[in-house]
Structure 1
């Protein structure tokens, strides 16, 4: 079971409390009806799919209901940190020092 920390509630809870909401820090179309089919498909389906730390967006569905960002290692599934939406990305080098 994964434990995820909500930066708003300041609680660490099981993953069933949360919902994955895609990759973080990507440009989201403000008016999907005005985008081309190619641009819309690119937004929906094309992601970086990195092996290692990935910036993700999550939602605390069964708690405060707010969206927040997280850095999760896709190899180990370990959450390296979580932070509030709108805050800058944390530096990966300081988060991954212990993983090497």
Structure 2
């Protein structure tokens, strides 16, 4: 899979560190309980199809990116710098 970094251009995905779902960044409250924290820390969805993920350009410019891609075809649809993404 190739990811086009807005700063560095097209690179192999091995230059990047996958962080997870960009839309599920909400942490539980401190007092949410052990079961809620266990679920947050250890369970991940594994969707087949279009996703919106956070990636870190570890071996490049050090930017955080939001990558919209398809997990079945490995097609990358859009890459945005996280700092410029709409919130």
TM-score (norm: length of structure 2): 0.79
- Structure 1 counterpart SS, 2:14: helix
Question: 1:73 — aligned with what?
Answer: 70
Gaps of 5+ in 2: none
Q: CA deviation at 1:60?
A: 0.1
Q: CA deviation at 1:36?
A: 2.3
Question: 1:83 — aligned with what?
Answer: 80
**Highest RCO, 1 vs 2 (Cα 8 Å, sep ≥ 6):** 2
The structure where helix makes up a greater share of residues is: 1
Aligned residues: 86
Cα deviation code 1:29-68 (max 9, x no counterpart): 287x654222222222333422210111100001111211
In structure 2, distance between residues paired with 1:36 and 1:6 = 39
CA RMSD of aligned residues (A): 2.3
